[in-house]
Amino acid sequence: MKVLVAGAGGFIGGHLVKKLKSDGHELICVDIKPLEYWFQLDDNNQNYSLDLKEYENCQKIFNNKIDYVFNMACNMGGMGFIENNKAECMLSVLINTNLLRACKEKKIKKYLFSSSACVYNASKQKDTFIPGLKEEDAYPAMPEDGYGWEKLFSERMCRHFYEDFGVDVRIVRYHNVYGPMGTFDGGREKAPAALCRKVINAKINNENEVEVWGDGEQTRSFMFIDDCIKGTLKIFESDYRDVFNVGSDEQVSINQMLDKIENISNYKFKRKYLLDKPKGVRGRSSDNTFIKSKINWAPSISLEEGLKKTYSWIEEEIKLKKNIKKFSKF
């Protein structure tokens, strides 16, 4: 099949493209970033640097014959970015709108929208180690301001494009995806990558303190990228148009995750808690009852196993950058 992946230059999009390519599909890849900034780039694909918030650019792409569309495109990052860029995050609704319009016009066979656990009602996330969030817990609506509202609105738009126009949609709600080949600095990184980076730098620089946003007691569940891709494709290939959680139900506090990173690094450090930094909701985890019952999927990679792989990759990247800086002085 010929598959369009919007947001192909991003973290999840890059891994998805790689998997679809290995399965034998022909890929059309689009991202707003210039090609040199894509996390993964295969020159054998059709690669375009275009802003899909402009409908004319969607029309250009859909001049190709396309069977399936995966919308992984959005303006997002870690909690610091989301809380300080609400309007920018909400503009991503234009991407989903334009892609759905093009899918309707071109009679695309199937469309997947990547949503987020940020759609969940904040009143159900005020405590640490809360019960896992079920799909119906998104209503009554009180999502994360900005980013969460954009995702929830876009979910509704997908639903109505199916009901009114017959666009065959799939919707996944991701819970804190992490792993190699992703952002680990610059302000858009999420907690696992940010904490791995901080510990690695502390170890390299022989520092005995690592900064932690909040008091470290806020809880989350984190899903390794390989599980994310498997869950996404299983939902896409199913006959269900329901909204599905794609996440881990292994809920940990930030302090507990730091304990794991400390063991992986074999380096002891003190924790400096920054209580004035963005922290997000107090607790969040995925309830996987629905996805297990419908398509028999559950994540298989533990947080400890995923963190080892992520830590190792970030460590190699940091050391490589330091070596490049060192030799560039000569």
- Count the alpha carbons within 13 Å of 87 in the hemisphere toward its beta carbon: 0
**Contact 278/80 with Cβ under 8 angstroms?**
yes
Q: Report angle CA 303, 308, 311 to the nearest 5 degrees.
A: 115
Judge whether 48 counts as a catalytic residue: no
**Residues belonging to the chain:** 330
> Residue 119: phi, psi to the nearest 5?
-75, -15
Tell me the torsion sign for CA atoms 199, 203, 205, 211: positive
- Whole-angstrom CA distances from 50 to 1, 18, 76 are 22, 20, 17
Helix locations, the chain, DSSP H: 11-22, 55-61, 79-84, 86-90, 93-106, 147-165, 191-204, 225-237, 254-265, 289-295, 303-328
Closest CA to 272 of 185, 195, 186, 187: 195
Catalytic residue among 68, 111, 147, 311: 147
Helix locations, 166-302, DSSP H: 191-204, 225-237, 254-265, 289-295
Instruction: Indicate which residues carry an active-site annotation.
Output: 147
